[in-house]
Amino acid sequence: MSNENNHSEPLIRVSHLKQYFPINVGFFRTKPLKAVDDISFDIMEGETLGLVGESGCGKTTAGRSILHLYKPTAGEVIYRGKPVKTKADIEEFRRKATMVFQDPYSSLDPRMTVEDIVGEPLDVQKLYKTKEERRDRILQLMEYVGLNSEHAARYAHEFSGGQRQRVGIARSLAVKPDFIVCDEPVSALDVSIQAQVINMFDELQEKLNLTYLFIAHDLLVVRHISDRIAVMYLGHLVELAGADEIYDRPLHPYTRALISAVPVPDPVIARANKRIEMTGEIPSPLNAPPGCPFHTRCPYAVDGCKESMPELREIEKGRFVACHRIEEIG
Ligand SMILES: Nc1ncnc2c1ncn2[C@@H]1O[C@H](COP(=O)(O)OP(=O)(O)OP(=O)(O)O)[C@@H](O)[C@H]1O
Ligand code: SF4
Ligand SMILES: [Mg+2]
């Protein structure tokens, strides 16, 4: 977790971002799958913003669209006060913003050595003048992630999951980014090594002044590393608040249900937090319900919830919630 003093200006501002995928639904007919549907938030310099929600709610798509790995359907991303719009803007932004992927098994070429994998972005961006400089930089990157020079000549397939994830992170750091989208970087790892890798993200943030968008569905993982947490449901943001606040006192009915589902070791706390059960399955984003996207599963839903979409509103300082009935349900 980062130093509070760094949080002065947004590094990244996401403004009304939409990502719709055209899906074939018959002869020459397509329908938009609204994977990300109008999300807005800021990420402050040096901050970690956690992004959570069930499988398919649009977390990865949001991360990819922010980085312009997908061209957004609408909305914009503002980096250090400047909209990322033209081809040149996107190229410049890509040098400063990168992604660490979920699966360390599929995101690295097993036939490449660690030196080749980490060195490739240096080659592509021509970030060195001599062979020695290249080698020194690779060793420095490996050291950042807890690998040593003996690992350089080995192949990715020789490594454990945790080590592969470290190689992937070293590769991401090669271009000296200041913003990293971490897409479930520990979900595929053994529980026993998840904490080590999370700690490494923390240390790297301090050392290199990084800003993270940290995607996960495990709320416990996100709570530890995040300063603030954004909760996504069916392509929308439903709540955004400080990590501890959201965990200790979730407000949106969906966040309450997610927190209820996390096992609590202490029975006193477990009793104090009334359990909220969701009913039914998450709807398909191809057939999203009208009005509040959560109304089909919300225990507090009333007829009005089906009619209009609740805006994400700041209901207490720094706490944003999208629910028509938030004042009533307390
Ligand atoms: N390239 C694509 N083309 C069409 N539909 C897509 C594409 N990528 C994602 N989707 C759809 O968009 C929705 C959001 O997917 P996304 O992968 O962003 O969710 P997620 O929250 O990252 O899920 P998970 O937790 O499983 O990783 C899903 O319905 C998915 O099927
Ligand atoms: S707007 Fe209605 S359906 Fe949506 S979360 Fe609030 S109470 Fe539930
Ligand atoms: Mg995903």
- Nearest alpha-carbon partner for 165 in 141, 145, 191: 145
CATH number at residue 25: 3.40.50.300
pLDDT band, residue 74 (cuts 50/70/90): very high
Q: Please give the distance, rounded to the nearest whole angstrom, from the Cα atom of residue 128 to the centre of ligand 3.
A: 34
Which atom of ligand 1 lies nearest, measured to the CA of 36?
14
CA distance 261 to 309: 26
Taking residues 284-290, what's their average pLDDT?
92
235-239, 264-268, 281-285: segment of lowest average pLDDT: 264-268
pLDDT tens per residue, range 218-262: 788 888 899 999 999 999 999 999 999 999 999 999 999 998 876
CA distance 320 to 30: 34
**Domain range holding 216?**
12-96+177-188+210-329
Walk across the sheet containing 10-26 and list its strands: 29-44, 10-26, 74-79, 82-83
pLDDT band, residue 297 (cuts 50/70/90): very high
Strands 179-183 and 211-215: parallel
Pocket flag, ligand 2, residue 323 (CB < 6 Å):
yes
CA distances from 137 to 110, 219, 228 (A): 22, 35, 33
Instruction: Return the ligand number nearest the Cα of 299.
Output: 2
Tell me the average pLDDT of the chain: 90
Beta bridge partners of 24: 30
Pocket flag, ligand 1, residue 236 (CB < 6 Å):
no
In a domain, 75, yes or no: yes
Total number of domains constituting the chain: 1
Q: Phi and psi dihedrals of 264, rounded to 5?
A: -110, 125
Q: Please give the distance, rounded to the nearest whole angstrom, from the Cα atom of residue 310 to the centre of ligand 2.
A: 8
Alpha helices in the chain (DSSP H): 59-66, 87-96, 114-124, 131-144, 161-173, 191-208, 219-225, 243-248, 253-261, 267-272, 326-329
In a domain, 167, yes or no: no
In a domain, 126, yes or no: no
Percent pLDDT > 70 in the chain is 93
In a domain, 172, yes or no: no
> Crossing angle for the helix pair 131-144 and 161-173, nearest 10 degrees?
130
In a domain, 298, yes or no: yes
Which atom of ligand 2 lies nearest, measured to the CA of 295?
3
Pocket flag, ligand 1, residue 60 (CB < 6 Å):
yes
Which atom of ligand 1 lies nearest, measured to the CA of 53?
21
- Nearest alpha-carbon partner for 254 in 321, 308, 302: 321
CB 258 within 8 Å of CB 233: no
CB 84 within 8 Å of CB 198: no
If one counts every other C-beta atom within 10 angstroms of the C-beta of residue 158, the result is 12
- Nearest alpha-carbon partner for 162 in 188, 201, 199: 188
